[in-house]
Homo-oligomer: A and B are copies of this chain.
Amino acid sequence: MTDIPESHPRYESLKMRESLVKSVEEGITSQAGLIAHGRGEMFDYLLGEETTEMAKKAERKAVAELDKAENPVISINGNVVALVPRGIIELSRTLDAKLEVNLFHRTDERMKKIEQKLRENGAEKIYGLDPEEEIPGLDHKRALCSHDGIYTSDVILVPLEDGDRAQALKKMGKKVITIDLNPLSRTSKTSDITIVDNITRAVPNMIRCEPLQEDFDNGYNLRRTLHYMSERLKILSEEI
């Protein structure tokens, strides 16, 4: 990529994109992951690039569920490592949750690069590197997982996840929690708790927040989020 001139009015946003492009060059993020990031960017724009009250509530409930779990697992992919390499490890410590690498576009090389990046950022035990099990209902490569990790987890955090896999995990009877800026994605609709927030804000929030013990209605929370976005579009239209 060429250098972005500092005179460009969207310098900050372009720099963030550039760091994802860099992680593609490092072999960590897939190119399809870049497209997914673009979709997220746009939903984040509709959120005003801020954590909403709905997202805060979902984050607090997610922490409560992961705290209570017997075998909590955090699933890691290329975009997660590119965006929150330190944060996701700190979160796994705070929650006493296992880290498992689980890729949509799995290759041995990408697995190694991601393992390396996690180690550089302080990860110790990493699951998913030598998977013995498969998630039922998925094609072989996408199904691979560790017995002591995802396979036997009861509560699983799958940030920036593919809808197919979120559904397959749900069918296994797990409590599924996701972080996804698109409230309309299959992952968002399938999950028990959907955090509609940028992962770069959600993870630090989850490290610090107070767990929510009260009832939580994910469908209601998603509908409120969509109404919030809908109103934002109307407000933004007045500026044209």
Q: State the A residues within 8 Å of B (CB).
A: 1-2, 5, 7-10, 14, 17-18, 20-21, 24, 30-32, 34-43, 45, 105-107, 139, 141-142, 163-164, 182-184, 186, 189, 219, 222-223, 226-227, 229-231, 233-234, 236-238, 240
Contacts and interface: CB of A to CB of B under 8 A. Distances in A.
Given A31-B31, A35-B17, A38-B37, A1 B105 contact: yes
Q: How many monomers of this protein are in the complex? A: 2
Contacts of A222: 237, 240
- 7 shortest interchain CB distances as A-B pairs: A38-B38, A226-B237, A35-B38, A230-B233, A34-B34, A39-B42, A38-B39
The interface residues of chain A, by DSSP majority, are classed as helix
Contacts of A34: 31, 34-35, 38
A190 to B, nearest CB: 11
Given A35-B34, A237-B227, A240-B226, A9 B42 contact: no
Given A18-B32, A31-B34, A163 B10 contact: yes
A163 B2 contact: no
A40 to B, nearest CB: 8
